[in-house]
Amino acid sequence: MSIMDTFYAKFQSVGEASVFVRYMPCLIGSESVLKARLQQSNGVNPQSQNFTINMEDKDIQSDSVLVEIIQKNEINSRNHLILRYNIDKEFYEIMALKMMQINDKEISMLDGFIQVNSMDKVYIPCNKCYMPHLYYFILPIRENISQQFKDGAMNQQKTSATNNQTTNVDEKLSQMMKKTPDKILQQKWGSMEKETLKKHLLLFGYGRWRKIRKYSKCHDKILKDKSDVEMKAFANDFIRTLFEYLQNEKNELKTFLINLIDEKPEDPFVQSQPKEWGEQISQRAAPWAKRIQLLYRVKGLVQTYKGERKKYFTKPEIEQDPFIKKEYETWNNLLNFLPAQVFYGQRPSVWWTLRHDIDLLFGTYKYGYAMYQSMRSDTSLSFHKSEQVESQYQEFPNADNITRRLKKLVQIIGKSEYQSNLCFEKPLNALEPTGFTLEDKNMIYETLINFGVPVNSDGKNDYGFLRSQLMKIQTDSGVVNTNQNMNLGNNDDQNKDAERNTAQNLERFIQRLRMESQKIIQAKNAIVDVDSDVNQDQLMREESKGEEIPTTKNKNVIFDPDEDGYNFGYEKACILHKNMNILQFIRKTLLPNNCKQFEVGLEALQEQFQKERLQLENMEEDFSMQDLKSSQLLPDNWICEKHDKNLLIALNYNGFEFLKNLSGNREYGFEDIEISYDLAFKRIEEICEFYKDYQQQSRVVKKPKKEILPQNQNTEGQLQQQQSFSEPKRKIAKVQVQRNDDGIIEYERSQYHTEKNLFPIGFKSLREHNSQTRLGERCQYICEILDGGSKPQYRVTPQDDPENSITRDSSTGCWIDICKKINELQGNKRSTVTVSGPERFGLADVNVIKLMQQLPNANKCQRYQYRADI
């Protein structure tokens, strides 16, 4: 190993000489007039055609010729990037000086400095060289490389502290390993106890011994009689095993793990073989360690809050502020130490508010990691009723989205600037972090209730396009806006960053509007008589805080911290909430993939339409009913397949205001249709309500009538394996499956069907089976078929452990892995597992086969033998 390989970071080239980096920050570029001056001073590889400039080198700064050349920007055409080390954030950063790629993603100078990690791929496009300029950024092997950087590129004091910390960690680990293992205790714990403890540690976290014992008593019974000392000894062994398998770049995580271990000299010491903690310990060490860290931070926050809460309630009654007391009683101030803007963006659902963030953290502490079904069932938490909001076209968010929200919250809480100032009693900072004027805000609101937030080709909200729409409205109206946030008509390079910031501010402001409108609607039904419960002093506090609804008498709410006069009440909140939800549902559910979801339910929509029309036509022929019919009945020549679909498309492109001019419109096929704005709006609501209900119903197989109950279906309407009467003595295991999505038939790729089975892309079913993590319990498994290219991929996700999904090339392979884990949990020593993947997925059930044979393109699958007997 050479000295350079040991001491220097480098850009390892695939096809040419590598670039070694000794100084930070540095400029990396191709051969130029500066090369001769630079080689001697910065230790560049003499064989490389590339060079680095130490921008803070005193020799460079004292060279007047060099400084003049750099100031005149004479070498920019041959410069590629600037590399530096961010001391505060503790990672390397790159700024591209020309178009280039990092990990196949294009970047430019407009992106600023972006983080770069070891083994990141760096590609510099060039049409002059036959050999590609492809590099891999490799960090130095020596951890104290920071000592090699000159003149402030690294903070020496911080480096010294880091080295001392690493030394302390090594010393602590060394002291631990010197202890003599307690062989008697090790013999008392078998693989079952260790596996159960691991699962509970990943559910509740380190140090929750009483909680683990209580949970085990109610579920698996395995750890119900284990003492704190025993559990802590084996938990410490598990933590040390994770430490050993973490890579060197995980220094911060490794330091956390070792410092987490609570081991006194008199405590027992155990040392297990790594494989005793599971076959996946080497691959899962990093995510398991991060899970332990997340749960530790959640525990720290909740227990700190409980301590402050208890301390506050011990004060004399006269010293307690009524408002703060109420906040502590309801846990409303758990996150008051965070700025309000951190809660914007990435909300799992449109109805998600700060209260749900609080309950997510508390629910994780109470029920464990990702136990969202238990949280939803808890009536003391906000989840059980939040999804039942008027005009809500969204379902409860899936586990992945909630988990991402949890990780984001814990990441923010873990930042040092917040950890050092956990003040729960100060009001939440509700400032609007935007630069919009009162006129801007009113214009944004009017645009949102008409047009909503557009969606790009990836199905994501496009705030950049919305900004251009707002600018067009300004231009058309002749308004001259001096506000820099909106007045960005020129699209030159100088405005690129400002344009991007404006879109981000726009997104934050809209998120703020939606959160506040949600609170107004929820509080309207929750608050009956605030004046009788809260005195005037409390009302003033709530108004200044801006997170509660002070009164419902005038249907008004104050959340105007920047005091520009912008405010809206209950009626406006309802309009914003309803219109944006309708537009989002249409754009993200009904119209994608050439209106696929609309087409799937079209036949049922037509049936309902005809049924409702007959009901209206059969009304009594009196005067009042005639008026009612004329206001509710669509024209006689209304065709669902044509007019309903075009109505949604017209709304998507033009907004609600366009509905006023819909009658006689030829572009969208309404040339022979007369329809009012109110009736068109009502029809849109009916379509959305229908498809919302249709989606929910399609996830559950309908219950048949008892008199026509087929042999292969039980009385609960769930799919059931059909028993074979050719083998009456053989015991058939009962298999129950719920079909969630039929998927799409792929007939052009031969691996997506066989003679007996169809494998639709997107097929999803839900099946109940023994849990692979909790002995004696059952859980739901989501079975999915994915697009894997030439052949399908199969994924099974246990809902009690959603992060550990299993993906294989065959459905049988997925279920073999699950059954092996269940056998291991039950202590079953069977070496072989026999299971049918298609049966476990529900693909072999005659009801499912019948449904799939009716899907489009099913008759085009050449090898599949159509079953006419079902």
According to the CATH classification, is domain 3-148 in 2.60.200?
yes
Strands, E, within 644-753: which ranges? 719-720, 736-741
Contact 253, 289 (CB under 8 A): yes
Where residue 698 falls among pLDDT bands split at 50, 70, 90? low
Residue 14 pLDDT: 60
Dig out the tokens for 493 from the structure.
């390079």
CATH number assigned to the domain with residue range 315-419, chosen from the 4 options 2.20.28, 2.30.240, 2.60.40, 1.10.10 = 1.10.10
Residue 642 pLDDT: 92
User: How far, rounded to the nearest angstrom, does the alpha carbon of residue 151 sit from its chain's CA centroid?
Assistant: 41
Q: pLDDT by residue (tens digit) across 613-665?
A: 777 666 545 444 455 445 567 888 999 999 999 999 999 999 999 999 999 99
- Using the Cα atoms of residue 372, residue 378, residue 381 and residue 382 in order, give the sign of their dihedral: positive
Q: pLDDT by residue (tens digit) across 796-835?
A: 999 888 888 899 988 988 988 888 888 888 777 666 777 8
Please state, in angstroms and rounded to a whole number, the distance separating the CA atoms of residues 630 and 624.
10
Contact 545, 483 (CB under 8 A): no
Where residue 63 falls among pLDDT bands split at 50, 70, 90? low
In the block, residue with structure tokens 């892309």 = 761
| 46-59 mean pLDDT | 46
Please state, in angstroms and rounded to a whole number, the distance separating the CA atoms of residues 776 and 191.
17
Residue ranges of the domains in the chain? 3-148, 179-284, 315-419, 438-575, 591-698, 718-860
User: How far, rounded to the nearest angstrom, does the alpha carbon of residue 201 sit from its chain's CA centroid?
Assistant: 23
Please state, in angstroms and rounded to a whole number, the distance separating the CA atoms of residues 237 and 24.
40
Please state, in angstroms and rounded to a whole number, the distance separating the CA atoms of residues 297 and 310.
20
Contact 592, 459 (CB under 8 A): yes
DSSP H/E element including 570: helix 570-585
CA atoms within 13 A on the CB side of 460: 7
Residue 644 pLDDT: 93
Helix (H, G, I), strand (E, B) or coil at 156: helix
Higher pLDDT, 493 or 237: 237
**Mean confidence (pLDDT) of the chain:** 75
DSSP 590: I
CA atoms within 13 A on the CB side of 616: 17
Residue 25 pLDDT: 67
Residue 44 pLDDT: 38
User: In the chain, pLDDT over 70 holds for what percent of residues?
Assistant: 67
Does residue 750 surpass a pLDDT of 90? no
Task: Specify the CATH number of the domain 718-860.
Answer: 3.30.160.360
Closest to 98 in 3D by CA, of 119, 139, 136, 127:
127
Dig out the tokens for 388 from the structure.
């039942």
Higher pLDDT, 547 or 259: 259
pTM score, whole prediction: 0.50
What contacts 860, CB < 8 A, 6 or more positions away? 745, 747
For residue 427, whether the previous peptide bond is cis, meaning omega lies within 30 degrees of 0, is no
Please state, in angstroms and rounded to a whole number, the distance separating the CA atoms of residues 722 and 713.
8
Where residue 225 falls among pLDDT bands split at 50, 70, 90? very high
Residue 782 pLDDT: 92
Where residue 238 falls among pLDDT bands split at 50, 70, 90? very high
What contacts 736, CB < 8 A, 6 or more positions away? 714, 718, 719, 720, 767, 768
Q: Of 57-61, 550-554, 586-590, 824-828, which gets the smallest average pLDDT?
A: 550-554
Residue 149 pLDDT: 38
- Using the Cα atoms of residue 50, residue 55, residue 57 and residue 60 in order, give the sign of their dihedral: positive
Residue 827 backbone class (left: φ over 0; alpha: ψ -120 to 50; beta: rest): left
In the block, residue with structure tokens 């014992």 = 213
CA atoms within 13 A on the CB side of 524: 18
Does residue 703 surpass a pLDDT of 70? no
Q: pLDDT by residue (tens digit) across 188-208?
A: 998 899 999 999 999 999 999
User: Strand 778-786 vs strand 764-770: parallel, antiparallel, or unpaired?
Assistant: antiparallel
Higher pLDDT, 423 or 187: 187
Where residue 783 falls among pLDDT bands split at 50, 70, 90? very high
Q: Of 222-226, 474-478, 752-756, which gets the smallest average pLDDT?
A: 474-478
Q: pLDDT by residue (tens digit) across 131-147?
A: 667 787 877 644 444 33
Dihedral angle over CA of 293, 298, 301, 302, nearest 10: -150
User: In the chain, pLDDT over 90 holds for what percent of residues?
Assistant: 21
Closest to 579 in 3D by CA, of 663, 523, 517:
517
Please state, in angstroms and rounded to a whole number, the distance separating the CA atoms of residues 97 and 102.
13
User: Strand 793-798 vs strand 26-30: parallel, antiparallel, or unpaired?
Assistant: unpaired
Identify the top-confidence range among 32-36, 151-155, 655-659.
655-659
Does residue 726 surpass a pLDDT of 60? no
Q: Of 422-431, 437-446, 776-785, which gets the smallest average pLDDT?
A: 422-431
User: What's phi and psi for 415, nearest 5 deg?
Assistant: -65, 140
Q: pLDDT by residue (tens digit) across 396-405?
A: 788 888 999 9
Does residue 152 surpass a pLDDT of 50? no
Where residue 58 falls among pLDDT bands split at 50, 70, 90? low
Helix (H, G, I), strand (E, B) or coil at 11: strand
Residue 305 pLDDT: 92
Where residue 82 falls among pLDDT bands split at 50, 70, 90? confident
